[in-house]
Amino acid sequence: MTSGGPVGGQVAVDQLLEVLDLTPVDEMTFRGMSPPVGPQRVYGGQVAGQALVAAGRTVDPTRFVHSLHGYFVRPGDPVEPIEYQVERIRDGRSFSVRRSVAKQHGKTIFFMSASFQRIEEGLDHQAPVPPDVPGPDEVPTMADRLARYPERLGIWSLIPRPIDVRYVGEPGWVRPGDRPADPYQRVWMRIDGKLPDDPLLHACALTYASDLTLLDSVLSVHGEVWGPGGVVGASLDHALWFHRPFRADEWFLYDCWSPSASRARGLATGRMFTVDGRQIASSVQEGLLRRVGA
Residue of 50, 115, 279, 285 marked catalytic: 285
Give the separation between CA 6 and CA 25, rounded to whole angstroms.
32
Contacts of residue 251, Cβ cutoff 8 Å, sequence gap at least 6: 136, 188, 189, 190, 274, 275
Give the separation between CA 46 and CA 119, rounded to whole angstroms.
27
Return the closest-CA partner of residue 187 out of 91, 251, 105: 251
Residue of 34, 50, 100, 235 marked catalytic: 235
Give the separation between CA 112 and CA 218, rounded to whole angstroms.
23
* Annotated catalytic residue 235: yes
Return the closest-CA partner of residue 91 out of 116, 112, 73: 116
* Annotated catalytic residue 211: yes
Beta-carbon count within 10 A of 90 CB: 9
Residue of 34, 46, 210, 211 marked catalytic: 211
Contact status, residue 186 vs residue 249, Cβ threshold 8 Å: no
State the alpha helices, DSSP H only, in 40-82. 44-56
- Coil, helix or strand for 223? coil
Count CA within 13 A, CB hemisphere, residue 117: 11
Beta strand spans in the chain (E): 23-26, 29-32, 63-72, 82-91, 95-104, 107-118, 163-167, 184-191, 231-242, 252-262, 265-274, 279-291
Contact status, residue 64 vs residue 114, Cβ threshold 8 Å: no
Count CA within 13 A, CB hemisphere, residue 109: 23
* Annotated catalytic residue 262: no
Q: Catalytic positions, please?
A: 211, 235, 285
